[in-house]
Amino acid sequence: MLQQLQIIPIPAFKDNYLWLIHNGEQAVVVDPGDAQAVLDTLSALNLRLEAILITHHHQDHIGGVNKLLATLPNVQVFAPQLEHYDFPHTKLIEPDEVQCTSWLPKAQVIDLPGHTLGHIAYYLELEAEKWLFCGDTLFGAGCGRLFEGSPSQMYHSLQKLAALADDTLVFCTHEYTLHNIQFALTVEPNNQALHQRQLDTLALREKQLPSLPSTIALELATNPFLRCYSAEIQNLTGTKNKTELDVFTKIRELRNHY
Ligand code: ZN
Ligand code: FE
């Protein structure tokens, strides 16, 4: 029976979440790195997979696609135009809008170079909620590593996400939030929202619940990579009177070695 839309995290590997959107009958999965985990969830909930959305080419995000297609050949795959994939897919680039199923609104494609050069996000506006599937670009209190792009590219990608509505739900792909908060506290120890987030996240993780989704509002209040204007961050990282891009570059570097 058709239900209200639901989103559930399918845990995979050490700390990935494969986000599954469903309506009680049909489903769409984002970044299925592990096919078996998706197949098990589909059969447990009696769902039919219709589409796969890919944010970038790393194995933990695409590793299950070929196996899913072998089992479910009618599933449509959507992936970044600027990257290469060995499975059939529809290529997407900003400002494409994609109707991946009949029961979801169109998703807006946002280009987010930085973690990889072709990385994209999917942004959906539903009646009551806004959803962002941002892969490995924005994390809870953190951001992805710069494997391919420059600090400037990543900084501008994050600024695009920071401009989304405050109440946008942010579906990140990794459970890195606690470790990110610990790092964030080293560069902004007097941020009360960050201390509160640490308590809230600890409570969730003790119950083995995901710390995600986050919201844009929460990230603006606690994520150091969106807070390069903060005087405290600048003072503690020796970047006073530098540009926000310089501050971003510095804290990304510090985080790499944390
Ligand atoms: Zn990645
Ligand atoms: Fe990843």
- Contact indicator for 146, 113 with CB cutoff of 8 Å: no
Which single residue is written with the structure tokens 């804290």? Answer: 251
Dist. CA 138 → ligand 1 center (Å): 11
Dist. CA 149 → ligand 1 center (Å): 12
Burial 130-155 (b: 16+ CB within 10 A, else e): bbbbbbbbbbbbbbbebebbebebbb
Dist. CA 48 → ligand 1 center (Å): 27
- Contact indicator for 39, 60 with CB cutoff of 8 Å: no
Dist. CA 184 → ligand 1 center (Å): 21
* Coil, helix or strand at residue 32: coil
Predicted pLDDT of residue 2: 58
Which residues, given as ranges, of the chain have pLDDT below 50?
1
Please write the tens of the pLDDT for every residue from 213-232.
999 999 999 999 999 999 99
Distances (CA, A) of 92 to 56, 108, 127: 11, 10, 24
Closest CA relative to residue 122, chosen from 113, 111, 114: 111
Please write the tens of the pLDDT for every residue from 169-192.
999 999 999 999 999 999 999 999
| Total domains, the chain | 1
Tokens of 115: 């973690």
**How many of the other CB atoms lie within 10 Å of CB of 17?**
22
Residue partners of 250: CB distance under 8 A and separation at least 6:
237, 238, 239, 242
Query: In DSSP terms, which residues pair with 91 in a beta bridge?
Result: 79
Furthest-apart CA pair in the chain: how many Å? Answer: 59
Dist. CA 235 → ligand 2 center (Å): 31
Closest listed ligand to the CA of 176: 2
Give the domain extent around 32.
2-256
Dist. CA 174 → ligand 1 center (Å): 9
Dist. CA 170 → ligand 2 center (Å): 15
Amino acid at position 197, single letter: R
Dist. CA 56 → ligand 1 center (Å): 7
Predicted pLDDT of residue 4: 87
Kindly report the CATH number assigned to the domain that includes residue 74. 3.60.15.10
**How many of the other CB atoms lie within 10 Å of CB of 18?**
25
Dist. CA 246 → ligand 1 center (Å): 23
Query: In DSSP terms, which residues pair with 27 in a beta bridge?
Result: 22, 49
Residue ranges near ligand 2 (ion) with Cβ within 5 Å:
60, 136
Dist. CA 132 → ligand 1 center (Å): 16
Amino acid at position 212, single letter: L
Predicted pLDDT of residue 223: 99
Give the number of residues written for the chain.
258
Dist. CA 5 → ligand 2 center (Å): 25
**How many of the other CB atoms lie within 10 Å of CB of 92?**
22
Dist. CA 127 → ligand 1 center (Å): 30
Residue partners of 32: CB distance under 8 A and separation at least 6:
18, 38, 52, 61, 62, 63, 64, 65, 68
Amino acid at position 75, single letter: V
